[in-house]
Structures are given as structure tokens and as C-alpha cells.
């Protein structure tokens, strides 16, 4: 346990030596340099202004204040360093996220380009499909028209056959009438020659009557012949129509 100054002085006075006296004198001298007033135990002694102790204490106080400032600054710098490390870690994480987002963005761009290519291909396919539908509709319409034309051609052919048969029959009738007319002309000439002398008047009347009858028959035969020739021409015209022979 430390001893008080009083006890130390008493102990020193009890065992005084020349060396101790010098030491005590030096202590008293130093105490008088540093402090003012009487030395009493338990009393707060004031330090003299301008002494080395006061200067040292002031220097110590300044040093402590500087130390406190330095510690505060150090704490601030330490906090800033921690923040810097945290910010660096945050920056690294943000860089990582940026790389990931950049990679994802590139993937999205690639997918967008592929989607645009698929959309363009789909539009092209739709256009081709629309054109194909139009071509199919046109082809069906053309096929329908051709079918109708073929049906009309078949109907015309079916109508031509009876007309052709009728024309053949009329031609035969005309030929027969022409033969009969020629025979009648020959017979009439012979009869005229035979009865010219003896029955001129009767022959004239008879000839006139027969001539009138022949004229009527000839007119009828001519009309029949003209109709037959018209039918024959119509048949010939039908035969000259392209495709009628193949249909026949």
C-alpha cells in the first residue's frame, strides 16, 4: 500500500542521512517550483503557471487532445475503410449482377432475333398460303368452266347427232325426189313426143296441168333441197368446230 507524503517525510526524518537531506531538499525545491501554497495532506495544490510541469501538463493535454482527435479520425477512417470494403463488396456484387444481367440481356436479344425470324417466316408462310389458296380457287374455277364447257360440248354433240341423221334422211329424200323428177321429165318428154301430133291441144292442156303440178312439186323439192343444204352446211360448220371430232 503506498505511503502518504507525511509518513514519508516522518520516516525520512527518523532516519536522516546526509544523502537523504539532499534528496528531501531537492524534492522541496522541485515542489516549490511546481506548486504554490503550503504543503498539506489531502489538499489540492495549484500548479504554478509558467513552470515546466505546467508546460508539460499543457503539452500533455494538447497531446491527449490531438490523440483524441487522431483516435476520432482513426475511428472515422476505420469506419470509412469498413464502408469502403462494404462498398467494394457491393461493387463486386453489382458487377456480378451486371454481368449476369448483360448475359441475360444478350440471351433476350438472341431470343428476340430468333422470334423476329420466326415471325418473318410465319408471315412469309401465311402469304404463300394465301397465294396458294387464291391459285387453288382460280384452278377450281377454271376446272368448273372447263367441265361446263365439256358438258355443253357433249350436249351439242348429242344435239348434232339427230340433226345429222335428219340431214342424211333429207339428203336421201332429195336424191329420191331428184331421181323421180328426172324420170318424170323423161316420161313427160316421151309422152309429148308421142302425142305431139295427134293431141296437141289435149297435150297442151295436159302438159300445162302437169307442168303446173311439176312446178309445184319442183318448188317443194327445191324448198326441201334448200333446207337439206342448209342443214348440211350447218352440220359441216359444226364439224369444223375445234374439238368436235375428238368429242365425236
Tell me what pLDDT residue 246 has.
47
Residue 66 domain flag: no
Residue 166 domain flag: yes
Do residues 155 and 244 make contact, with C-beta atoms less than 8 angstroms apart?
A: no
Residue 51 domain flag: no
**Cα separation of 248 and 243, whole Å?**
9
Residue 206 domain flag: yes
**Cα separation of 247 and 154, whole Å?**
7
Residue 203 domain flag: yes
Per residue in 5-40, pLDDT tens? 444 444 444 455 656 777 777 777 766 666 665 555
Do residues 247 and 154 make contact, with C-beta atoms less than 8 angstroms apart?
A: yes
Backbone phi and psi for residue 36, each to the nearest 5 degrees, phi listed first: -120, 155
List CB contacts of 52: < 8 A, sequence separation 6 or more.
33, 34
Do residues 234 and 162 make contact, with C-beta atoms less than 8 angstroms apart?
A: no
User: How many domains are contained in the chain?
Assistant: 1
Give exposure, 99-115, as e/b (b: 16+ Cβ within 10 Å): eeeeeeeeeeeeeeeee
Residue 105 domain flag: no
Name the β-bridge partners of 47.
Answer: 35
Per-residue pLDDT in tens (0 to 9) along the chain, 248 residues: 344 444 444 444 445 565 677 777 777 776 666 666 555 555 555 666 667 766 777 788 888 888 888 888 888 888 888 888 888 888 888 888 888 888 888 888 888 898 989 999 999 999 999 899 999 899 999 888 988 888 888 887 777 777 777 777 777 887 888 888 888 788 777 776 766 666 666 666 676 777 787 788 888 888 888 888 888 888 878 877 655 444 44
Domain range for 234 is: 160-247
Residue 119 domain flag: no
Per residue in 93-103, pLDDT tens? 888 888 888 88
Amino acid at each position: 500500500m503506498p505511503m502518504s507524503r507525511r509518513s514519508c517525510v516522518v520516516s525520512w526524518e527518523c532516519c536522516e542521512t546526509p544523502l537523504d537531506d539532499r534528496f528531501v531538499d531537492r524534492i522541496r525545491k522541485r515542489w516549490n517550483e511546481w506548486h504554490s501554497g503550503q504543503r498539506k495532506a489531502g489538499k489540492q495544490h495549484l500548479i504554478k503557471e509558467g513552470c515546466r510541469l505546467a508546460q508539460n501538463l499543457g503539452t500533455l493535454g494538447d497531446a491527449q487532445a490531438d490523440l483524441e482527435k487522431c483516435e476520432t479520425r482513426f475511428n472515422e477512417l476505420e469506419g470509412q475503410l469498413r464502408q469502403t470494403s462494404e462498398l467494394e463488396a457491393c461493387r463486386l456484387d453489382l458487377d456480378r449482377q451486371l454481368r449476369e444481367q448483360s448475359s441475360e440481356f444478350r440471351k433476350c436479344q438472341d431470343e428476340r432475333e430468333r422470334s423476329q425470324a420466326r415471325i418473318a417466316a410465319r408471315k412469309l408462310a401465311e402469304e404463300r398460303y394465301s397465294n396458294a389458296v387464291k391459285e387453288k380457287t382460280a384452278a377450281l374455277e377454271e376446272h368448273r368452266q372447263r367441265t361446263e364447257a365439256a358438258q355443253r360440248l357433249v350436249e351439242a354433240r348429242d344435239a348434232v347427232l339427230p340433226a345429222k341423221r335428219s340431214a342424211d334422211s333429207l339428203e336421201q329424200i332429195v336424191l329420191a325426189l331428184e331421181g323421180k323428177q328426172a324420170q318424170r321429165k323423161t316420161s313427160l318428154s316421151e309422152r309429148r313426143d308421142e302425142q305431139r301430133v295427134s293431141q296437141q291441144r289435149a297435150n297442151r292442156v295436159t302438159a300445162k296441168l302437169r307442168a303446173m303440178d311439176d312446178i309445184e312439186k319442183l318448188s317443194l323439192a327445191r324448198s326441201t333441197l334448200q333446207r337439206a343444204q342448209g342443214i348440211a352446211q350447218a352440220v359441216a360448220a359444226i364439224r369444223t368446230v375445234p374439238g368436235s371430232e375428238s368429242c365425236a
